[in-house]
Amino acid sequence: MTIPALLVAAVVGRLISTAALGDAEILRHHTIGRRLSLEPDDLDAASKDFGGTVTVAPLAVLRPATTGDVAGVVHASYRSPLAFPVSARGHGHCTGGQAAAAGGVVVAMTTERRRWERREETQLGMPEYSPSYGGYFVDVWGGELWADVLRWTLRHGGLAPRSWTDYLYLSVGGTLSNGGISGQAFRHGPQISNVYEMDVVTGKGDLVRCSREQNQDLFHAVLGGLGQFGIITRARIALERAPRGMLFADFREFTRDQEYLISLEGRPSGERFDYVEGFVVLDDGLINNWRSSFFSPRNLIKLSSLGSAATSVLYCLEVAMNYDDSTAGSVDQDVAALLRKLQFMPETEFATDLPYVDFLDRVHKKEQKLREEGLWEVPHPWLNLFVPSSRIADFDQGIFKGILRRNKVGGPILIYPMNRTKWEETTSAVTPEEEVFYLVAFLRSAVGDSPEELQKTLRYLTRQNELILGFCRDSGIPAKQYLPSYGGRRDWEEHFGHRWETFLRRKMEFDPKGILGTGQGIFQLNSVIVAGHDAETKTRNPTSSPGRR
């Protein structure tokens, strides 16, 4: 449906009513009018996210056809004495309004139209080999989904990105703005450690090409930067030869053995696993175990069948080994040799042989099952923590065997270790200071037979998250939130710790008006940032931010 030009002009006029540029000039030079959507369905979709707990309405949705469209709307805001918020949105998988733009513009980087009707500037590039990188790479639009990147690179050269998230239907720009982790991160590092170069639109509307060698400060700021410094419009992703398949096994395990397995990351293929994740198993329900291959029709075992173990918390380790035609004959023996060094209940070991793509897409298949059961499009009060290895036993005792053992969980719990050496210190991502730390992810879903019961469950799970954070605080466990959500500036300063001054300096340089990422609730829009504090000026935007809950 075509939007009347006068209506578009009226919206642009509201956005930049005090701007130095006239509405007509903005429309003419930046083609905002042709790309803005005011459709109620688009505005409604952009006001919500996967979390289902926050609704924040933008004034308009921009569907960019080129990088210039993205730069144009940000530049228009920056030129205005009273800027309006601009936030990039990928597949909408935030859980607390982090990609919202109250009263501003949401830039829809990922759309069905874009996925299948790519224009020349934003299409997926052909994979190439670079002697300077010592490997292959592919250039992709920031809004591309990792699932589409995988299909493209496999089709063109049998290649695949080195580092993944468990769920592939996330945008490239979205995961690079946070970290991008899975059971492969102990080997290759997070996704932010596997990107060579980016094109970024800063909070001033400037399009900047950056890498570890060029405009390094912006490059490092944007990676893990929570959308605070720029919108990623292109990323150059590191690739590797894709294995033919994955042989993986599930079983009960201890953290000691998890850390042993990730310590083997420098060993030759066949002497180490390529993927290590863990799960905390408290019951047999689908809603609590959908992320794990341990819970599957073929491998299903009931906790009650494990005798006395059923009265305690169970830990399931999922490991995988890649193989190709040259190693297919020995992969079973290699896996068996590694498993013999571990301690687990033999009756809980299962082996499965999967094509590589099926292994990577396994969570999406579980998503389809949840959709069939009406359990996907519900509120998701998720909590993700990085916990230092030295305190993971205390965390286990107080949380898994304490708070959660006495209460219903509401979703899967992931737990697996990572090597800090695989994370670049210069990025904006925050991890514990220890060399080995754990991701503990509480992937909760609030369900109920009625709206009232659903809201009651949501309050219950949210309160449980608060108890977990309170236990860490009171016990002196220096956990860091991954995909963080905090209530105020002091919490953010504590989160970043000694990195706060660098984070603030970069914000002043690349987005001094606080236009980008307002949904995170870190900085005030239209603020003068001085000496580590926001001096809030007059603003016509709401005083509350969706990131402040």
| C-beta separation of 430 from 495 below 8 A | yes
Beta-strand ranges (E) seen in 374-519 are 383-388, 413-419, 436-442, 480-481
Instruction: For residue 169, give both structure tokens.
Output: 């239907």
| C-beta separation of 379 from 445 below 8 A | yes
Strands 159-161 and 86-89: unpaired
The amino acid that residue 28 corresponds to is: R
Average pLDDT over residues 116-131: 69
Percent of the chain with pLDDT over 90: 62
Name the residue with higher pLDDT: 114 or 538.
114
Angstrom distances, CA of residue 261 to CA of 63, 319, 336, 344, 369: 45, 9, 14, 14, 31
Residue corresponding to tokens 């989904």: 145
Average pLDDT over residues 237-258: 78
Q: Which residues of 513-522 are buried (b: 16+ CB within 10 A; e: fewer)?
A: bbbbbbbbbb
- How would residue 378 be classed by pLDDT, with cut points 50, 70 and 90? very high
Cβ atoms < 10 Å from Cβ of 68? 17
The amino acid that residue 510 corresponds to is: F
CA 484, 488, 489, 491 torsion-angle sign: negative
What is the pLDDT at residue 373? Answer: 83
Residue corresponding to tokens 């109250």: 102
- Please say if the pLDDT value at position 480 is more than 90: yes
pLDDT tens digits, one per residue of 69-96:
999 999 999 998 889 999 999 999 999 9
What is the pLDDT at residue 395? Answer: 96
Using a 10 angstrom Cβ sphere, with 0-12 exposed, 13-18 middle and 19 or more buried, the burial of residue 432 is: buried
What is the pLDDT at residue 14? Answer: 59
**Which of 23-32, 63-72, 145-154, 227-236 has the lowest average pLDDT?**
23-32
Question: What is the chain's length?
Answer: 549
User: If you average pLDDT over every residue of the chain, what do you get?
Assistant: 84
Percent of the chain with pLDDT over 70: 79
- How would residue 371 be classed by pLDDT, with cut points 50, 70 and 90? confident
Instruction: For residue 157, give both structure tokens.
Output: 């050269």
Between CA 218 and CA 511 the distance in angstroms is 11
Between CA 87 and CA 102 the distance in angstroms is 9
Who contacts 397 (Cβ-Cβ below 8 Å, separation ≥6)?
none
Of 226, 161, 168, 152, the residue nearest 189 (C-alpha): 161
The amino acid that residue 314 corresponds to is: L
Angstrom distances, CA of residue 344 to CA of 252, 307, 401: 5, 15, 19
Name the DSSP class of 402: I
- How would residue 34 be classed by pLDDT, with cut points 50, 70 and 90? low
Name the DSSP class of 74: H
Average pLDDT over residues 148-163: 94
Between CA 477 and CA 453 the distance in angstroms is 33
Q: What is the set of domains in the chain, with CATH numbers?
A: 116-241 (3.30.465.10), 246-481 (3.40.462.10)
Name the DSSP class of 387: E
pLDDT tens digits, one per residue of 494-524:
999 999 999 999 999 999 999 999 999 999 8
pLDDT tens digits, one per residue of 95-119:
999 999 999 999 999 865 444 444 4
Query: Chain centroid to CA 381: how far?
Result: 15
Average pLDDT over residues 457-464: 94
Q: Which residues of 462-500 are buried (b: 16+ CB within 10 A; e: fewer)?
A: bebbeebeebbeeeebbbbbbbbbbeebeebbebbeeeb
Name the residue with higher pLDDT: 291 or 225.
225
- Please say if the pLDDT value at position 540 is more than 50: no
- Active site amino acids: 93, 166, 277
| C-beta separation of 547 from 521 below 8 A | yes
What predicted TM-score, i.e. pTM, was given to this entire model? 0.87
What is the pLDDT at residue 314? Answer: 79
